Structure 1
Amino acid sequence: MNILIIGQCSLHWGRMEFGNIGNYYIIEPFFRQLHNTFEHAEIKTTMQLSERFQRAEQVKSLPLNLYYDWRDNELQLSDIEVELSEEYKRTGILIETTEYIEQVKWADLVIDFSGDIWGDNANFLGKDRFNVGLNKVLTAQNMGKKTAMLAGSPGPFGNEVTKRLAKKIYKSFDIVTNREPISTDLLNAEGFDCSKTHTLPCPAFLFEAAQKNSVEDTVKVVRNFGGKKEKPVVGFIICGWNFEKGPFDKWPRNDEEYDNFVESVEFICGQLGARVCLMSHSNGFDIPPLPFKLKHGRDYPIAKQLQSILLKRGIAKDIVCIDELFEPWETKALIGTFDMLVTGRVHAAVAAFAQSIPTVVIDYGHEPKAHKLKGFAKIVGALQYVAQPSD
């Protein structure tokens, strides 16, 4: 069995493994479940993965430019591949080939892995990117390959021409799994043929945490902060998407933009008598030619600014911010030690849900909105605990 995995998660090296921790929660069990299902499969992907991951999870990364490479003529190049595949579909003859088509020829199954960027949101990553991705799948379908789209949260679709193409390709998938029900509801409302669609939880629910003793020292610091009496601990995670004003990577931000988060923390400490642990759910890394080094991601300075504002106000005195760097499996273990979690990162919520930690989810506060947060909460029966940042 030869499996080719493409999709909008084909990003620059390191993004899926060492950036947003939730990405890693997804990809590790995703590949493991494929190997469990197709025991002797050979798997190749246009996702850019480390040598360690490729060895451990038995997968080979192909060059990123087979899928998308930010060239001025990306759409035209993918249009040529569609034309070649259509000629092959009509005549059985491939009059010309490309590196991507050669990999499609090799594959028995082509999987589109795009998460929540199978739709308009893909174009935030690059010009015409969603159309290019559609062309890549259409090429495989024209060549008679089995195709699947797995673990997605498709939509939205604003462009009518692109939507018609998306509907054609979606209908032709042999199987689709959406990782939450709201995506499927939206697709039905948009007129997509969902007869081959299954709503199943995200693979991230299967991600295995490290043993809790691996984060024992940090937990002791949090539980006994400043030598104070141990209290229930509420984890608190926010990111750039949770603010009412975008863009998500806006920096610096004014202190006033944190007002609702500040008041929430003060309520948790003052009225509920809990300790609040601020933390990041994203990492970063130095990019080549610098040697690889894991470092704090975009969430960390947000957590530190929130901590600074709270300390200046002096109302919530029982707060601590985690300054250490943790790998994804350690991060999930740490979340599993909390008594409750408030999070604007959906996969931090998954880490909590999977360990039976009561969780409030903070929705995105500005465009592009993501229905996945409500969808993930709905699938575990916690939709009433999704809060708007403005509230």
Structure 2
Amino acid sequence: MPAHSAAAIFTMETREDEIDYKRSHGNQNLPESLLLFDHKSAKDVLSVQKWKQNAMNPCMNSTYRFVENVIDAMIALHKDIQPLSKFHMGGDEVAKGVWNGSQECQNNPDIPNTILNNTEQLQRVFMRRASDIVAQKNLDLAVWEDGVYADEKPNPITDYKSKNVFVYPCNNRWDTTFARRPAEFADAGYKVILPLATHLYFDQPQEPDPESRGLYWATRFTDTRKVFGLMPDDIFANLGPGRMGNPVTEESICGSNTCPKPKKTENIIGLQACMWAEVMRTEGQFHEMAFPRVLALAERAWHRADWETMTSPSRETARDKEWEVFADVLGYAELPRLERKGIMYIVEPPGAKVESDGTLKANARYPGHVIEIMDDKSQKWKKFKERKLANGQHTFNFRVRTPVDGRVSRTVELKANVSTKVNSYA
């Protein structure tokens, strides 16, 4: 809230129609209005997901009655299981201009004329009033980054009365300036959880390949090794190419200034991975997107590696060595254990190449996985063995097979023209 609320908005309109119908038939014992949208607002403004009328109006008292009803329902739901301690308000992706022209805002004496067409400041009005309800229920407040960010800076932490305010700054795409926000929030007194989209959005592809499932609005790919290599204490140390492969530097993000690092590092309190289900339709697809990336997330969240505080190139050398140990543990122990539990983790395809002397080589991401090969003559899969190739044109298909349940990766093709002078690869 207030955006991502089309279902609530239209449901409450249907409810209001039913109330009006009962009133027209003489029934005066009616519930209070819970309308959430003013149709004098700019109702054709589209959200980033192309929804209309999906943001609750911050100037209507009925909006806050609805918010309190929702919070009370959540408290009751958790009461006998694990009492609710925090309420996540959402707060993200309010479409700019969605409340422009609102009669309710114009008629509300508490809304200054200077902010009637200022979406960020109207959202600030919503968040302050809605968060007051959260605080009255003795709950901490949680919110996505843009819910408490206006005029290019975090809103003052004093806007909110809860003991703790948890913020989730996720949008650290390297081709934007948003990666500065975690440090800004930490230094402003917020409790910061890092669901960094470039490394911890598990609905992003696991390979830079069009056949790899996932969206790529944040990054071109995020594989398990990339998650393992995350350095959460220094976000800008994780700089990589933009989502279209363009190079990114600290200067391109922060200009001539040094990219900010949090002074109040104690306010960076954890990591979170996220997955959105529009790219998944089956349990197997969910498993494939989550595992084994979530194991690398756990490693980074629970363990600060020595290489995180090193400088290049020592950092890369030490990280590569620790990754080899981690990959061995996965290949020999954890992935077979997942298979026995029915977890259908992603089976990554192998790599293959022809050396200059004509030697055909291949490798798998994890030890214990079997590399299989099919050449253009036999058309049969068999276990791969390193070999010297005769001169001429060759085409090979490769795949990986898992050790327990025998699932296979997608097939990759290698074409080679072997001669004593020239080698070419595809």
How high is the TM-score relative to the length of structure 1? 0.31
Structure showing greater radius of gyration is 2
The structure that is helix-richer by fraction is 1
How high is the TM-score relative to the length of structure 2? 0.29
